[in-house]
Amino acid sequence: MLQALLNLRREEFGPVLIAALFFFFVLTALMLLRPARDALGMERGIESIRWLFIGTAVVTLAVNPLFGWLVSRLRRLQFIGTTYGFFVLSLVGFWALLMFAPDSVGQRSGQVFFVWYSVFNLFATMVFWALLADRFTSDQGKRFFALISVGGTLGAIFGPWLTSRLAQPLGTPSLLLVACGFLLLALAMAWLLVRAAPDRAPTDTSVEATGFASEGERIGGSAWSGLRAVFRSPYLTGIAGYILLMTVVATLVYFTRLQMVAEVAEDTDARTAIFGNIDMWTQVAVLVLQLTLTGKIIKRFGLGVALAILPAATALGFIGLAVYGSFVVLILLEATNRAVQRGITRPAREALFTVVNREDKYKAKAFIDTFIYRAGDVLGAQTEGAFGRLGLAMGALIGAVLPLALVWVALAIWLGRAQARRVEQLTARAAPAASDGAQVGASPPVARGADSAAP
């Protein structure tokens, strides 16, 4: 009965549970620190955050070749461990600065932390989802990526809850060490996941043909191959465009929220507590969606419809905000936007990467999930700032969002169909190999993505 309810096979329970715990620890660490990031970033006013978004995008672009180099030179667990280890050491450094040199901490260091966290946030989650796209097939991704996301949602609820309880009595520095502990637990789960879901070698042992490489082999390639792949593959370009539109619109909502919170709270700790409570209740809505609708929507209507729900819901929310314009409506808009994005859209768009080769799962995905994401932040921040400087009302914002939403919906449908075509092509290519394997008593291979398939 449990297998039928969760849409899992018996041998999948262990890997799915480990992956859910992995995501729980990652999101707990991230959401512990996010309210502090927002509060520290506002120390010099909201206008400075727009420039911090530009700085974050530049740093993200600079870090991508370094990450690509690590992927090319190190084995999978080595570059995953290096990534999380660097962030742990950075948190320890920030903690030491806050504890032993508090006089040197000011607005500038708060801005540095804002940029650092914004880069850390994307790379930490990108590495997690890249590993999942590498470990599981397209069919598995559609069946239980939403279930695994529940672990992350529970962490995203638990993290802000801890922040709201610890921020004022213990202070922000203590949260950094707590986050370090959760990141180390996440790294342990990554190691267990690789062991619990071992590579299954395809019948065709050509790495170049299949995009397959065992744990003991390096992925190889150049540090810039991920960037080149995004612009050479229409499929990857489409994913990048979807994420760009998503972040532009989300940033418009984000800055509107910052302005309203700035009006009701002036103290950093008070703002941290407010942001923590907003995040916590948003994640409760995410959890409800993941447990009730996400898996059923993807299974019944496909990835295209699941991806199109977010732009449709966002457009309706902006219309409601234009009509009523209250703080409560804004919180409902942001909660709905983020709930649909994390509860439905995120599992669906991560399943898109299950049909590309291993190098693109890490390098191209890193470029899309970090730089393209932050480029959307910059574009959205500057657009919102331009509207404010021109004195334009909410109606002008609606006039910009609605056309974007239409393009966003069309792109979502196209990506769903492109992913389905890739699955069909991979299945057709795997069928003859499976037949040959059956003749010699071999197990049929699991089809894994190769980016050579046409979109």
What pLDDT, on a 0 to 100 scale, did the predictor assign at position 435? 53
Q: Which residue has the higher pLDDT, 35 or 455?
A: 35
Alpha-carbon span 253 to 144, nearest angstrom: 30
Find the mean pLDDT for residues 99-109: 65
Residue corresponding to tokens 């732009």: 311
Q: Which residues contact 342 (CB under 8 A, 6 or more apart)?
A: 149, 152, 153, 156, 283, 286
Greater pLDDT, 93 or 437 = 93
**Confidence check: pLDDT of 85 > 80:** yes
Q: Higher-confidence residue: 283 or 193?
A: 193
206 exposure class (CB count in 10 Å sphere: 0-12, 13-18, 19+): exposed
Q: Which has the minimum average pLDDT: 1-10, 312-321, 387-396?
A: 387-396
pLDDT of residue 239: 95
Query: Binning pLDDT at 50, 70 and 90, where does residue 240 land?
Result: very high
CA distance 105 to 173: 12
Tell me what the mean pLDDT of segment 364-373 comes to: 90
Tell me what the pLDDT averaged over the chain comes to: 77
Q: How far is CA 274 from CA 163, 258, 262, 325, in A?
A: 10, 11, 11, 20
Task: Give the pLDDT confidence score for residue 27 in this predicted structure.
Answer: 92
> Tokens representing 142?
């559609």
In terms of pLDDT, which residue wins out, 228 or 326?
228
Q: Map residue 140 onto helix, strand or coil.
A: helix
State the amino acid at position 128 in one-letter form.
F
In the predicted structure, residue 450 carries a pLDDT above the cut 50? no
Closest Cα partner for 343 from 122, 124, 131, 149? 149
Whether residue 268 has pLDDT greater than 70: no
454 pLDDT band (50/70/90 cuts)?
very low
Q: Tell me: pLDDT of 302 over 60.
A: yes
What's the rounded mean pLDDT across residues 245-257?
Answer: 81
- Written as six digits, the tokens of 338 are 């983020």
Where does the pLDDT of residue 414 fall: very low under 50, low under 70, confident under 90, or very high at 90 and above?
Answer: very high
| For residue 38, pLDDT beyond 80 | no
The pLDDT assigned to 270 comes to 62
> Is residue 138 over pLDDT 90?
no
- pLDDT for residue 236: 94
Q: How confident is the model at residue 277 (pLDDT cuts 50, 70, 90)?
A: low
* Residue 419: predicted pLDDT: 92
Rounded to whole angstroms, how far apart are CA atoms 5 and 346? 21
The larger pLDDT score, comparing residue 311 to residue 44, is at 311
169 neighbors 55 (Cβ within 8 angstroms): no
Task: Decide which of 299 and 305 is more confident.
Answer: 305
Strands, DSSP E only, in 298-430?
Answer: none
Q: How confident is the model at residue 187 (pLDDT cuts 50, 70, 90)?
A: very high
What pLDDT is attached to residue 46?
62
In the chain the domains, ranked by start, together with CATH numbers, are: 9-195+223-430 (1.20.1250.20)
pLDDT at 244 over 90: yes
Is the pLDDT at 449 greater than 60? The verdict is: no
Whole-number pLDDT of residue 209: 35
Q: Is the pLDDT of residue 29 over 80?
A: yes
- Give me the amino acid identity at 284: V
